[in-house]
Structure 1
Amino acid sequence: MAYAYWKTGKMEDKAVFDLFFRKNPFRGEFAIFAGLGECVKFLNNFRFSCSDIAYLQEILPNVDQGFWEYLSQLDASQVVTMSAIPEGYVVFPKVPLIRLEGPLPVIQLLETTFLNLINYASLVATNAARFRITAGDGVQLLEFGLRRAQGPDGGLSASKYCYIGGFDGTSNVLAGKLFGIPVRGTHAHAFVNSFSSLDDVSENLAMSWLTKISPILNILEHETNKGELKAFLAYAYAFPRTCLCLLDTYSVIKSGLPNFLAVALALNEYGYRAIGVRLDSGDLAYLSRKCREAFVLIADQFESPWMKKFTVVASNDINEETLISLKEQLVEVNGEPRMKLSEDVGKINLPGKKSVFRLYSEDGLAILDLIQLCSEKPPEVGKKILVRHPFIESKRAYVCPYKVELLYRDYWGNNGLTQSFPSLQELKKTASDSLKTLRQDIKRELNPTPYKVSVTNEMYNFLHELWLKYAPIGELS
């Protein structure tokens, strides 16, 4: 496409592109905007090296030499401006997340990478936020997804954006090093399998405790796996202050649970406290309850109330289905608006260069997002505004906002970054604070209420006039 633009003399045509999405992921009614920081880095470094051009010449041998000279001199950071909603904000369909302005070929070249950087990041952050809402603030959420991630880069990104979305820690040590995310983890099943017996430590304190607690738990001591007990002892020896054991290598109830409790009681005699257990298979709700019952039973029996506070970590494919569709559309060239038409009204984009405002009620909750043309006066606090559904004529209402927030910030212009970028910890807080501005019925998992994205009356008229202008007129015969 860039070559076709160059070939037809459109190298300097000024374009405005919007990046937005059409449908919320996970059958929900919101998304968390993430990936903006990576877009800024990409924009700052986007240019073609000599080796890039040499490769392109191999696969496109018939392209004019002048085009390669054009690419060799191209520096996107010098000719593009970018405005965007701050990363970490809660966002909604059809609201432009990023607005790019610059020469048409350059903006077109940025399109695919920007979509890639925003798509995955926003998907992961949104999923993490949904987990946080479901779990509540009092539960720790840990990301253990590296083994199943989309390669090492995908794993690193997932750790980063899970943290922004509301998770508390990760098992990815590199993510901890690079981003300052708290690192958490336990041992694997293979660690337990690597120990086969207690032959070399048959008379140990843990065995003594196992003998005491087995009848209380109504289990047979000889049914517990002694290799597992040795594994727990080895792990406790290495990490006496952070001992958290995986219980389901053999049998949670008959082996893992009593073995852990025996080790925890032995640790306590040396002045250390175990943290808890992890469950990775089976009916996690049922097994979690059985573990809690055992913790209370043994704690009461041996006057050890600290055991009632053991953590139960549940893992094993705790996820939601993944679905997101981000699209980027050209909306203006040389000041003239552009519009994509479709038989499906939901796929029609909103043309022109736009501003987006979030209107709030007196209780601090978001009422709606209002899209308007940049040429319009911004909405005012305390002043009644007519807002409309973009496509359904009868859906309209008056709103009198208590607070008005312009969602766009200028991030790139005048050949550089126009404002400092927040830290990962600040982005995490931004996402958390932004979610608090949504009503609970919008965030609920079952049948959430759609959040309103509206347009001004002027934007509505502009959209429909342009729609009629470009829509072909049929002929009946």
Structure 2
Amino acid sequence: MAPLADLYQVSMAYGHWRAGRHRAPAAAELFFRRPPFRGSFALGAGLAEGLRGLRAFRFSAADVAYLRSVLPSTTDDAFFDYLATLDASEVTVTAVPEGSVVFPRVPFLQVKGPLLVVQLLETTLLCLVNYASLVATNAARFRLLAGPDVKLMEMGLRRAQGPDGALSASKYSYIGGFDCTSNILAGKLYGIPVRGTIAHSFVMSFRCLEEVQPRDLPPRAGGDPVDLAGLAVSWLQRVCDLLQTPPSKANQGELAAFVSYAVTFPCDFQGLLDTYCVRRSGLPNFCAVALALHQLGYQAIGVRLDSGDLAQQSKEIRGVFRACGAHFHVPWFGTIPIAVSNDISEQSLEEFRRE
């Protein structure tokens, strides 16, 4: 961990050592001048990683050899011998608890110890704390906008700055107030709840109902298995009559994908509605499968939208769910959760909440 530093830190450390000041007592404080995102506060995060970094602070023989190759050839050999003996055992850290609210120009971490070691720790601690605090603060701002009841899921793994950036984003989003992550490894390492739906590729991989295998599902209360595909087709006609949309416009591959997923996960069925047309295909297909599951004693757990005017479409979907619930006498149908994803910003979240 010790080489995770800027070269000038080692150059300055050599200056302190040459001047005989390397063991002078020193204190350094970490603070920020302006809050991120033009806000009024930040969350202090990355502190646990900082402490782990202190415990692992050592220059190995390979590290020292590398430093010999990059520092000027006039550097005293005894300095490299000294670096090989360094650790952070004489360093003390005072900090706010992980995830605390912190304000501009108010120190939230203080490091005390020998001047040379404190100097070498600066970049390392900034690296471990700055990004973590930025992600946690961003997550906290989303939580404040969404309110306490809306579920927030972090799912940025595929767009993250490499594996380390992805794991850090998952971890510190959770500290900042998100409820769960799509990142399996982050769930395993940090105990964050892991959630997920289905992707457009799954829906597009089906072309027709004949591809669904198996297609039979026993009622939840027990009994003989029922052909869920056939049951969904009969419900599709009834749903389309209610919505005044022709069943022929509902994509059969999408219906097959929903049926296949429902047979596989009857207690956790959720649909992705925007692979094709939401109004004429995704929505009636989902309602048909969800109502077929209901007939067998199961309850769908939600839908997801990933494109278009998310706020407006969500309003329309909620209206359809309520209409189906009232018309088919299924009270819970009107409260099916609607998840939105893709390019969610503070502005879009605020607009979504307002509408």
Aligning the two structures, in what range does the TM-score lie when normalised by the shorter sequence? Answer: 0.7 to 0.9
| 2:195 paired with 1:184 | yes
Structure-1 residue corresponding to 2:238: 212
Distance 2:339 2:115 in 1: 51
Task: Report how many residues are paired.
Answer: 321
1:76-155 maps to which residues of 2 (within 5 A)? 76=88, 78-155=89-166
| 2:82 paired with 1:70 | yes
Structure-2 residue corresponding to 1:290: 316
Checking the alignment, whether the CA contact within 8 Å between 2:180 and 2:193 is kept in structure 1 is yes
Structure-2 residue corresponding to 1:243: 269
Structure-1 residue corresponding to 2:6: none
Kindly report structure 1 stretches of 4+ aligned residues shifted beyond 3 Å: 199-203
Distance 2:59 2:263 in 1: 55
Distance 2:127 2:183 in 1: 22
- Bigger fraction of residues in strand: 1
Distance 1:233 1:57 in 2: 65
Structure-2 residue corresponding to 1:267: 293
Cα shift readout 1:55-79 (whole Å, capped 9, x = no counterpart): 2222225122111101100011x12
1:463-474 maps to which residues of 2 (within 5 A)? none
Shift of 1:82: 0.9
Distance 1:200 1:194 in 2: 10
Distance 2:329 2:37 in 1: 46
Checking the alignment, whether the CA contact within 8 Å between 1:26 and 1:320 is kept in structure 2 is no
Structure-1 residue corresponding to 2:9: none
Checking the alignment, whether the CA contact within 8 Å between 2:25 and 2:115 is kept in structure 1 is yes
C-alpha change, 1:126 and 1:200, in structure 2 (3 Å) is closer
Distance 1:219 1:290 in 2: 14
Give the alignment partner of residue 173 of structure 1, picking from 184, 190, 198: 184
Give the alignment partner of residue 228 of structure 1, picking from 234, 254, 263: 254
Checking the alignment, whether the CA contact within 8 Å between 2:145 and 2:346 is kept in structure 1 is no
Using the size of structure 2 for normalisation, the TM-score is 0.87
Cα shift readout 1:16-48 (whole Å, capped 9, x = no counterpart): 101111111111111111111010100111010
- RMSD (Å) for aligned C-alpha atoms: 1.6
Shift of 1:269: 2.0
Shift of 1:15: 1.1
Distance 1:150 1:224 in 2: 39
| Unaligned residue ranges in structure 1 (runs of 5+) | 322-444, 446-477
Cα shift readout 1:114-166 (whole Å, capped 9, x = no counterpart): 11111111111111111111111111111111111111111111111111111
Q: Greater shift after overlay, 202-211 or 107-116?
A: 202-211
Structure-2 residue corresponding to 1:463: none
Shift of 1:8: 2.2
Identity rate, percent:
58
Shift of 1:88: 1.5
Distance 2:57 2:131 in 1: 20
Distance 2:270 2:71 in 1: 58
Does 1 or 2 have the higher relative contact order (CA < 8 Å, sep 6+)?
1
1:281-360 maps to which residues of 2 (within 5 A)? 281-320=307-346
Cα shift readout 1:297-319 (whole Å, capped 9, x = no counterpart): 11111100111120000111113
Shift of 1:199: 3.2
Cα shift readout 1:218-262 (whole Å, capped 9, x = no counterpart): 212111111111111121122211112111111111111111111
C-alpha change, 1:290 and 1:320, in structure 2 (3 Å) is closer
Distance 1:53 1:320 in 2: 47
- Bigger fraction of residues in helix: 2
| Unaligned residue ranges in structure 2 (runs of 5+) | 1-11, 213-226, 351-355
Shift of 1:320: 4.5
Distance 1:132 1:194 in 2: 35
Checking the alignment, whether the CA contact within 8 Å between 1:46 and 1:75 is kept in structure 2 is yes
